[in-house]
Amino acid sequence: DFDSARHRPLFGRHVLVTAGPTHEAIDPVRYIANRSSGKQGFAIAAAAAEAGARVTLVAGPVHLPTPPGVERVDVESAREMAEAVESALPAHVAVMVAAVADWRPAAVADRKIKKDGTEPEPLALAENPDILATLAASPRRPGLVIGFAAETNDVIPHAQAKRLRKQVDWIVANDVSGDVMGGDANAVHIVRESGVDSLPRMPKDQVARALVERIADALA
Ligand code: CTP
Ligand code: CA
């Protein structure tokens, strides 16, 4: 009815969100990771659920509570995240906020690596799958695919290049030249084919609501 269209504009939609870092095992006790807190992705999942969507949140290792009404799938590595994303399809919208590790150790030692008094071995790396680009090229591609890009410089040109390279609809470019990683506010530019929508720096939950509003408008 009229009221639900206004207050729950994503009712009947399935929104898939990835969030947080990934951990890439070196041995049973060590891993490679990054500084993502997961806050922005969790805020987007929460805002989409508030807007009435069914939400699947594929979360890397973070210490955050599951937002109300959100179905959460916990993963550790990029390859586990890729599988969980595939399993969550079909979706109307995908918002890939996770800071996926670009590389993983080429081999995982099955026992703790010990010091032996000699020079340490260099750590050989392998490239992880690009979850976003794979999804965008998939026959099961959601109608609206949105990536995030954290950049320290030339934010908009880098985001535009990324949008074209990954064949995604929107890139939300995050200016991380300040102290954004782990902080509570973000300054983002939503880069689309039609142009760039720059939002003022605001708390991450407000960025999430602004993005969800634009997603609802795009689907309407
Ligand atoms: N991404 C992904 N899988 C990867 C790497 C990135 O799904 N293996 C997604 C991120 O979730 C994000 C977008 O791609 O939505 C952009 O991530 P970013 O790290 O900025 O892009 P990269 O292609 O990895 O480029 P860069 O060399 O700048 O890190
Ligand atoms: Ca990357």
Give 136-174 pLDDT, tens digit per residue.
999 999 999 999 998 989 999 999 999 999 999 999 999
pLDDT of residue 179: 63
**Rounded Cα distance, 216 and 92, in Å:** 11
Pocket of ligand 1 (CB under 6 A): 18, 78, 96, 98, 100, 102, 128, 130-132, 147-150, 162
pLDDT of residue 69: 96
Q: For this structure, is 34 an active site residue?
A: yes
Q: In the chain, pLDDT over 90 holds for what percent of residues?
A: 88
Instruction: Please give the single-letter amino acid code of residue 188.
Output: V
Q: pTM (2 decimals)?
A: 0.96
Identify whether the C-beta of residue 165 lies closer than 8 Å to the C-beta of residue 132.
Answer: no
131 annotated among ligand-binding-site residues? yes
Residue 4 pLDDT grade (very low, low, confident, very high; cuts 50, 70, 90): confident
pLDDT of residue 2: 59
Return the C-alpha torsion angle 56, 61, 64, 65, nearest 10. 50
Ligand nearest to the CA of 21: 1
Joined tokens for residue 8: 């729950």
Task: Report pLDDT digits (tens) over 171-188.
Answer: 999 988 866 566 788 999
- Tell the residue number behind the tokens 């949140």, with chain if given: 57
Q: Is the ipTM of this complex over 0.95?
A: yes
132 annotated among ligand-binding-site residues? yes
Query: What is the mean predicted confidence (pLDDT) over 62-87?
Result: 98
Residue 49 pLDDT grade (very low, low, confident, very high; cuts 50, 70, 90): very high
Atom number in ligand 1 closest to CA 129? 8
Nearest to 148 by CA among 177, 170, 128, 178: 170
Residue nearest to atom 18 of ligand 1 (CA): 149
- CA 131 to ligand 1 centroid distance, Å: 8
Identify whether the C-beta of residue 40 lies closer than 8 Å to the C-beta of residue 207.
Answer: yes
- CA 32 to ligand 2 centroid distance, Å: 13
Return the C-alpha torsion angle 71, 189, 8, 12, nearest 10. -60
